[in-house]
Structures are given as structure tokens and as C-alpha cells.
Amino acid sequence: MSDYPLIVENLSFRYRDRQETAIRDISFAANAGEILLIAGASGCGKTTLIRCINGLIPRSYKGEVGGRILIHGEDTEKMKLSTISQKVGTVLQDPERQILGTKVLNEVAFGLENLGLSREEIYQRVDESLAHLKIQHLRDRDTFLLSGGEKQKVALAGVLAMRPSILLLDEPLASLDPASAAETLDAVRTLADEGMTVLMVEHRVEDVLRIHPERVMYMGEGEIRYLGEVDGLSRVVNYHEVKLPAEQIVQRAKRDPAPAEIRVLPGAAGPTSKEEALVRFEDVAFGYESDVEILHGINLEIKRGDVIAVLGPNGSGKTTFVKHAIGLLKPKSGRVLVNGKDTKESSVAEIASTLGYVFQSPSHMLFAPTVREELAFGPTNLKHPKDEIETEVKEALRIVNLSEYEQDPPLALSFGQQKRVSIAAILAMRSRILVMDEPTAGQDYQNYMNFMDAILQLPGFEAVMFITHDVDLAVIYANRVLLVADGRLVADGSPHEVLRDFSRLEACRVVPSSLLALNVNRFPQTGRFLRAEALAHV
């Protein structure tokens, strides 16, 4: 047992300001060269476990700790955080929260500078670390100009440079496009093959299974529900809770009744002409700096009944494009019309009554003392009658499954719950068009599938558009897919038209998923794309 680099014995923890324990009776040991995938719903204690191992608990996050953690046989309770950090490297969910240096070189060197190594050794280790992840070309770049995937790799390089023997990754794929996620996973596999112990917390289970983790830990309500070989996972977990490869879901779902068909955007089936454009982009070009153009000649119309998925790599201009629809950005040339009116002639607040926009990060908008007040803010600004606001708030909370948190402060909720509050805040405004930027990032599978189902069945919306890195979300929900790369609209069509061309997808850094491949194969029989549970009954 003592040969294990990491041993966790009867670990439990309760945060100082909470009644219930976050994790209970966690015991396991991890081997050198092993990748241990840790999966589970939001709030099940995955991040708390990571914080206990890297020493942030109880040093930065106070509370009651039980049990012990041994790193190479030494109890971490007696170790300083700086000592732990030389043995245990941690890459956080959002690289933006981890990167400190202004240049990649400084960022990767940060830990080594703190260890007081000589300049020669620092340069040598930085170069080694960058070469290991094949990002030497980024060495002299500004960190804030990197794409999401590049930032994640730079954060990883900064940790690797300190040569830890244990690597903790807390949802490292959450903000990455599929190709960047695949590259990051390949790098992690290589590190494990070289002898590093890797613990990876991740909702995107299917993606991680591709690099063959040695074992999987499935957590629920602060406890280990399953720990063992990958093959055993699909037998013990509910396939509605964890996203398994499509073939496995199809096999399991055959034994269950066929899922009920959802009626998408019932509000779009009104008497108004379907040909009437709700939003129209006419040859739109834009750049933040006068001499650098980010969007080039975008032409498209959003019509009633459209459920549009916008796919494309990190930094391709997806968010910039969508911000034009609500008037937060105005085109440098061309024009955007919402309800036939140029966005240059309307305020954002005016457009908001037609088009609701859910931002990527919830923390930039939450401010109210209770969830209820947070949700009432938008409708109040739009001057909805008071009794209607009450109904709108309740309905929105029900959709995102947060009714019991109505009187809680939104800022005290978990990230996943905050994200759902931010979506509910826009739902409560009852706009005609809903636009969401990465609605599922940092969410567990069951939660996001539930709220996506509920949102698309709402009677008020005439069109929905969402930016996503999750190809399966486009496969399951969209009736139209936009592929954006380098600020250009590369493809615009039905999911089958756009997503069946795998080489074009790969050129746009979109990696086909098992569900997409299955749907493309079965398309001659189905005539449309379906979720895995539905494919099981075709």
C-alpha cells in the first residue's frame, strides 16, 4: 500500500459555513502511471476532494477535516502548502483563474522562480515543459491573447515545469473546443504513460474515455458510488446522469421505454410568416481595433422556428458574432436588423425585450440578495406587470430546477447553479428569441439535458440560438447549424448537411462524437438526427 504515490483514507470534510459535509468516507489509492477519472453530478464533492489533496483545504478553505491523505507515504497535514505543491500539481477548471504571468514564458516559469532555482535551470525546465506539450511557439506570446485551448495548455505547462509526481485536473476541458480538448487529453495520457499519477475531474466522460483511463471513480452526494475499471461504469451509473458513449447508451436504452418526443418551440407555430426574418445580418464586418478585422462579411437570417447551434473553435468570433445580434457590438460595416430595425438605432435594453442573451459567465451579472429578486430584475426593467413577473420568475425557476433556492443568495450557490440562475434570469424576461453562450459549460449532463428540453418546449420563444463546443447538443437539439471559423461563416444548414462532412468539421476543430457518427450512419433510416435513447428504438 505504501508504494502508492497517493493514498486517501476515510477522508471527510465540512465547509465552515455549511451544515452538511461536502465529502464523506472517501478512501482510495492511486498508482503511478494511472489516470483516475472522477465523475459525478455538480455539487457531488469532486472539487472538494481535489482541494483536500492539493492542500487548499484546510489552508485556504476552512472547515472540519476527517481522515488523512498520504503523498509518497507522508501525511499532508504536517506538510506546508509549498511542499505539497512541489509534489502535487493542480490545473483548475478555468485557466483564466490560474494564469498569473503576462507572457507565456513568465507564466510557465512562475513556480520555478518561487523555488529560487537558477535562471539557467528555469529556462531549461520552461523549454522542456513547453516542448512536452508541443507549444514552444507560444513561449514569447502575451497570455491574455491566447485562445482557451492555448491557455489551458500553458497553465498545464506551468504546473509540469515544477515536476510534480501527481497531477490534479479539475474539469480541464470545460472551456475548450473539441480539438483543443482532444490535444489536452493526449498530452495527459502521455504524462501518465511516463509515470505521473493523474486524477481528472470531468463531466465530459465520453471524451476522457477516449484516452483509456485506468479507473473511474463515480461520486454522488459526497461519497464514492463506484470505483473500478472503466467497463464497470456503464453498469452502475444511470445513463441519464453521466454521458456515456452513444453505443453504450443505445444498448442500455433498448431495455427502457422510448423517450417522449419533445415539441420544439411550440410558440413558433403561430400565424406569422415563417419567412419573416427575426434577425438579419447583412454583410457584417467587425474588428475591436481599427486595423484588425475579426468578423468578415457575415450574411444570415434567423427565422421563426430556428433552433441554431453555433459551432467553431475557441477564438473564431462566435461570441463577437452573437453580441452583434443584441446590439452590444455594432458592425464596422454592413448592418444587423432585429425586427426590421437597425441595431445602430436601438439601445441594447430595447433589443433585450425581443432578444434575450445569456452570457457565458454568470458571475458578471449576479448581484441580487435572493434568486427571486435576481430573476425579477430583467422583467422589471422591461416594465412587465408585477403579477406577471411573479409567474415568470416561478416558471423560470421550475425550468432550471432551482425552485427550492428562490430565497437563497445567488452568489452563494455553486458555479453550475449560478449558471442556471443566469439562464433563468433571461428566461423570466420572456423575450421572443433566446441566445445562449455556452449554456452547458460546467454543468453536469443530467441538469443541462433537462433544462435544454424544458427551454425548447417553452411556448414563448420563436427562435433559439446557442453557442456550444458540445457537438451532441447540436445533434440533439438544433434544426440548423452554423459553423464559424476565423470570423467567417463556413457552413449554414441543417444538422445533417453541416455535420456529416467530418473533414470540414475537423478543419474547424470540431471533433465528431460517437452520437454524431451513429446518427450519420443511421440517417437513411431515421431521416433526422436523434438522441441516443431515441436511436435505441428505431
Partner 1 sequence: MLVAWRYRERARSFIQSFDPRAWIMFYGCFLFSTLAFWDVRYLLFFAAIALFVLLTSGVTWNEIRRAVLFIVGFVTIFAFFTFLTGRGGTELYEQEHLIRRLEASFSILGWTPALDITVERAFFGVSQFVRVFSIAIMTILIPYSLNPALYGITFRGLGLPDKIAYAMDLTMRFIPTFSRDFQLTMDAQKARGFELEKISGGLIQQVRKIGPLMVPVTIHAIIGSEDIIDAMDLRAFGIGPRTWLQKLDYKIKDRILIGVGLTILLFSMALSTLGLGNFWVPPQLLVLAGG
Chain contacts with partner 1 (rule: CB under 8 A): 54, 56, 59-60, 80-82, 85-86, 89-90, 92, 95-103, 105-106, 109-119, 122-123, 142-144, 151, 158-159, 162, 290, 323, 326, 328, 347-349, 352-353, 356-357, 359, 361, 363-368, 377-378, 381-382, 411, 425-426, 429
What is residue 250's three-state secondary structure? helix
Distances (CA, A) of 222 to 13, 66, 205, 513: 9, 13, 19, 30
Rounded to the nearest whole angstrom, what is the least distance from the CB of residue 102 to partner 1 in the complex? 4
User: With respect to partner 1, which residue has the nearer C-beta, 364 or 386?
Assistant: 364
Rounded to the nearest whole angstrom, what is the least distance from the CB of residue 437 to partner 1 in the complex? 11
Separation between Cα atoms, residue 88 and residue 159, nearest integer Å: 9
Rounded to the nearest whole angstrom, what is the least distance from the CB of residue 172 to partner 1 in the complex? 15
Distances (CA, A) of 87 to 80, 121, 371, 492: 11, 18, 41, 49
Rounded to the nearest whole angstrom, what is the least distance from the CB of residue 156 to partner 1 in the complex? 13
Rounded to the nearest whole angstrom, what is the least distance from the CB of residue 258 to partner 1 in the complex? 39
User: With respect to partner 1, which residue has the nearer C-beta, 102 or 136?
Assistant: 102
Rounded to the nearest whole angstrom, what is the least distance from the CB of residue 171 to partner 1 in the complex? 15
User: With respect to partner 1, which residue has the nearer C-beta, 2 or 347?
Assistant: 347
Distances (CA, A) of 183 to 132, 141, 313, 492, 532: 12, 20, 13, 27, 26
Rounded to the nearest whole angstrom, what is the least distance from the CB of residue 424 to partner 1 in the complex? 12
Q: Is the dihedral of CA 56, 59, 63, 68 positive or negative?
A: positive
- Residue 488: phi, psi to the nearest 5? -120, 150
Distances (CA, A) of 325 to 52, 335, 341, 413, 491: 44, 10, 11, 30, 19
User: With respect to partner 1, which residue has the nearer C-beta, 29 or 56?
Assistant: 56
User: With respect to partner 1, which residue has the nearer C-beta, 275 or 289?
Assistant: 289
Contact call for residues 475 and 500 (beta carbons, < 8 A): no
Rounded to the nearest whole angstrom, what is the least distance from the CB of residue 520 to partner 1 in the complex? 36
User: With respect to partner 1, which residue has the nearer C-beta, 112 or 518?
Assistant: 112
Cell of 85: 505543491
Q: How many CB atoms lie within 10 A of CB 314?
A: 19
Torsion of CA 28, 29, 33, 39, to 10 degrees: 10
User: With respect to partner 1, which residue has the nearer C-beta, 160 or 242?
Assistant: 160
Separation between Cα atoms, residue 488 and residue 169, nearest integer Å: 33
Rounded to the nearest whole angstrom, what is the least distance from the CB of residue 96 to partner 1 in the complex? 4
User: With respect to partner 1, which residue has the nearer C-beta, 71 or 209?
Assistant: 71
Identify any residues that bridge with 166 across adjacent strands, giving them in sequence order. Answer: 88, 197
Pairing status of strand 463-467 against strand 23-30: unpaired
> The sheet that has 341-342: what strands, in order across it?
295-303, 277-286, 333-338, 341-342
Q: Who's near 468: CB < 8 A, 6+ residues apart?
A: 309, 310, 311, 438, 439, 440, 474
User: With respect to partner 1, which residue has the nearer C-beta, 98 or 447?
Assistant: 98
